[in-house]
Structure 1
């Protein structure tokens, strides 16, 4: 295959892009009549559902097992280089730009019949371009996931870094959009949330802190904030299997931002994983927004009002139908770009875009060719593609305890 030379920017949704996006009046949706849920189907093409909302699928091998066997990557630069080379691009350089954070909500609740669960998720951000990414890997569980393509959708050829930086900030219209084949392969490794064929559901939510996390234990695979979500979706059927992956992984915070994960399965087990003092701390919970749940930093952060809104709905409706889940997401809506009702029993998702809870978009995962029930993450490390040791992890700080304490004081003072 002939390689193509390409430089591209992995952009973490800069606020500068807002100046070239048409604003959406989310209140304008409120008076619309309820519209029947629209069925959508993923194909290999980038199919537009409505403006700036697309769906696509990828069938086959996208290099995940090879990446894990090689030890993974401790940064997004090398990860994206690997993915683009995998499909035939000789990417010589990558440029990342980061900016503000996100505010999101997620929860799990039993369904009305008592035989399954729903997983609700709001992604709160500035105006962005979401993509539904459906994957059917050769060696892993199929899944539906959601990607903010504004993190990865700017490209240009043969332009020096300084010019690239100046253009992305001041003249984004002069930067070519990423080719669809690169966008598809990159999107696979950058899911913000997802559900796999076993019903395992995951959400990534930001939390505050002036420290970061770069674990460097020997013998463990290296993964970044979002690439670990891809591994869990492809390789884990339950919360326990997902936690086993986390245990065997050195996590590296993308853009040095801190996040926590809500991970829930079809058995009703639901936990958050938060990185405190360099270690993953697991706490059982049904809801997360943007404050810590673990007792070490409990309540530090923001989004308590959204948490309470969801909790109140769950108290009123201890068991929910899909409409109840939608209404709970609407109650917690805050500059929300997409909302999802993941049905963990039927392995399907209903999307609502930019606060318009009157129009849903439904997609169901085709599990006719699902993998056998044999686990992909064996209890014996020799049986797992994540064949790594249990060495101690370390945080990338000279004095991690001090950094955490100072950050807590700073955040607390800022919230008073």
Structure 2
């Protein structure tokens, strides 16, 4: 793992510690395996950076991913758009719009003692916060590592998800169950490549209980990528080293490219990525996300898998881009 050297920049543009810890207080933070000092340092690092509101926080110390904790619940599906532009191996880019309710969001930095450092985005509604709440000092933030909706780790592996109403996961009693969002935390912490990420998916039952069923996009700095879907209770993986991949809210496994493009957002992504040969500048990637944004797009983020540059636009204020950095290598 790597210690962080994150810098927050405002840019105008056209998107178990080694010793046994003292447990943190039990009011919130069920995932925390921090000493009291680490928990306080985590909460003290919270900063509001945008009036979405968008916050940033650095998680200090360890956490447990096997606890019972928060999970997304929804009566209607997430609407999201994702792509991986992998044609330029010196600057492979992963982009994602998160389209959902007007909730506060968090840019979370984590560096677990036995895992990879990462940066991810979290919808704070699922920790119990509304946009009107002041989360400062609230121990529920200590569960934030359980809910990455997209992210990038220090090995250059990016992950994201979108709703797929047709997805069905049938439990295999020989495998442990994991929540449909928490699986992304396991991937960010434990996988360095797409192949390693797929092995983590294969070792677990996906639990869609209480929330929309999902499918997933993975990409790494080598140019590898994969789609993971659940059809008729079976995991289906589409992998390869194609110059680009796109994902919206329609199932793709076993579906031809012409049929895939019947979905408007997928078609817009695919046409642009085809035309560019899967090559995207940072500005071009954010512009592409803008072209498929919906009225309820909450954040738009691009991850450079080679340099670790992370750029975030909150609430479709495209003229304001917040830059973060996740060192990769």
For normalisation by structure 2, the TM-score amounts to 0.78
Unmatched 5+ stretches in structure 2: 1-21, 30-41
- Separation of aligned partners in 2, 1:151 and 1:265: 28
- Separation of aligned partners in 2, 1:256 and 1:139: 29
- Separation of aligned partners in 1, 2:276 and 2:260: 27
After superposition, the C-alpha distances for 1:128-170 in whole angstroms (9 at most, x for unaligned) are 211111101111000010011112225xxxxxxxxxxxxx9xx
* Equivalent residue runs for 1:181-260 within 5 Å: 181-209=138-166, 212-213=168-169, 215-218=171-174, 220-260=175-215
Q: How far apart are 1:6 and its partner, in Å?
A: 5.0
Residue matched to 2:127: 152
Kindly tell me: are residues 253 and 97 of structure 1, through their superposed partners in 2, closer, same or farther at Cα, counting changes over 3 Å?
closer
Kindly tell me: are residues 234 and 2 of structure 1, through their superposed partners in 2, closer, same or farther at Cα, counting changes over 3 Å?
closer
Q: How far apart are 1:208 and its partner, in Å?
A: 1.3
Residue matched to 1:414: none
Residue matched to 2:304: 343
* Equivalent residue runs for 1:13-412 within 5 Å: 44-51=44-51, 52-64=53-65, 67=66, 78-80=68-70, 98-110=74-86, 114-154=89-129, 180-209=137-166, 212-213=168-169, 215-218=171-174, 220-284=175-239, 286-295=245-254, 304-318=263-277, 319-334=279-294, 335-366=296-327
- Separation of aligned partners in 2, 1:309 and 1:337: 19
Residue matched to 1:28: none
Kindly tell me: are residues 240 and 179 of structure 1, through their superposed partners in 2, closer, same or farther at Cα, counting changes over 3 Å?
same
Q: Which has the higher contact order (CA 8 A, sep 6+)?
A: 2
Contact 2:150 2:161 in 1 (8 A): yes
After superposition, the C-alpha distances for 1:338-367 in whole angstroms (9 at most, x for unaligned) are 001101001120001111221100001246
How many residue pairs match? The answer is 289
Q: How far apart are 1:269 and its partner, in Å?
A: 1.2
Unmatched 5+ stretches in structure 1: 9-41, 68-72, 81-94, 155-167, 371-416
Kindly tell me: are residues 262 and 299 of structure 1, through their superposed partners in 2, closer, same or farther at Cα, counting changes over 3 Å?
farther
Secondary structure at the aligned position of 1:217 is classed as coil
Pick the structure with greater CA Rg.
1
Q: How far apart are 1:96 and its partner, in Å?
A: 8.3
Contact 1:111 1:321 in 2 (8 A): no
- Separation of aligned partners in 1, 2:72 and 2:97: 25
Contact 1:133 1:144 in 2 (8 A): yes
Secondary structure at the aligned position of 2:165 is classed as coil
